Every structure is written in structure tokens, then in C-alpha cells.
């Protein structure tokens, strides 16, 4: 029973995470893996093309062709980058209705 509750909670947290915004803070990939480098490189290229240095997690997953099997590994890579203060994950908030 506890496993079902944990799974349900993890799914909702994952859903909230996918609807978050990733902002590039530093353009460094020192001691990063291949997946982390590709994330930082993608965000930097967006910034170099006069766009915002941020993207949604869902958009990054589509552009980097992340397979369903690699989704957990991808989310772990994002968390490692956030821990090293290379990116910041900001939750998107819905616009207030008037």
C-alpha cells in the first residue's frame, strides 16, 4: 500500500517538474557527463540566437530526443546541474484569471 502512495506522489512531482522552466545560469560543463553537456549546450545555443536562455523541461526533452526509457536519467541530470548551480529549475505558475 505504501508503495502505491509513493508511486502516486512521485508521478505528480514528476508531472510538476516536466511543467517547469530551466534557466541557464553558467555556461560551464567542466566535470559533466554527455547528457549534462547537451542540456547546457542547447540552452547556450538558444541564448546565442538572441532567444531566452531558458526553456521548459518538456521542450528540452523533445529537442534532445529523450526516449521514454531515459526520462529518469534525464531528470537526474537536470537535478545534478541544478545542484552545481549551472541551471535553475523554476516552476511555471498559471496566470491568474480576472
Per-residue pLDDT of the chain (98 residues; tens, 9 = 90+): 443 344 445 556 666 667 789 999 999 988 899 999 999 999 999 888 888 888 999 899 898 888 888 888 999 999 999 999 999 999 887 767 76
pTM beyond 0.85, yes or no: no
pLDDT at 95: 66
Which of 95, 76, 78, 12 has its CA nearest to residue 42?
78
Which of 3, 13, 8 has its CA nearest to residue 72?
13
Give the position of cell 517547469.
Answer: 20
Other residues' Cβ atoms within 10 Å of the Cβ of residue 4:
8
pLDDT at 86: 95
pLDDT at 79: 93
Amino acid at each position: 500500500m505504501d508503495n502505491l502512495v509513493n508511486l502516486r506522489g512521485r508521478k505528480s512531482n514528476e508531472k510538476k517538474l516536466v511543467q517547469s522552466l530551466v534557466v541557464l545560469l553558467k555556461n560551464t560543463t567542466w566535470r559533466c557527463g554527455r547528457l549534462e553537456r547537451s542540456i547546457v549546450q542547447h540552452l547556450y545555443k538558444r541564448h546565442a540566437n538572441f532567444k531566452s536562455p531558458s526553456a521548459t523541461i518538456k521542450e528540452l526533452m523533445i529537442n534532445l530526443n529523450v526516449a521514454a526509457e531515459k526520462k529518469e536519467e534525464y531528470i537526474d541530470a537536470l537535478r545534478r546541474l541544478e545542484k552545481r548551480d549551472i541551471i535553475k529549475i523554476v516552476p511555471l505558475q498559471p496566470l491568474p484569471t480576472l
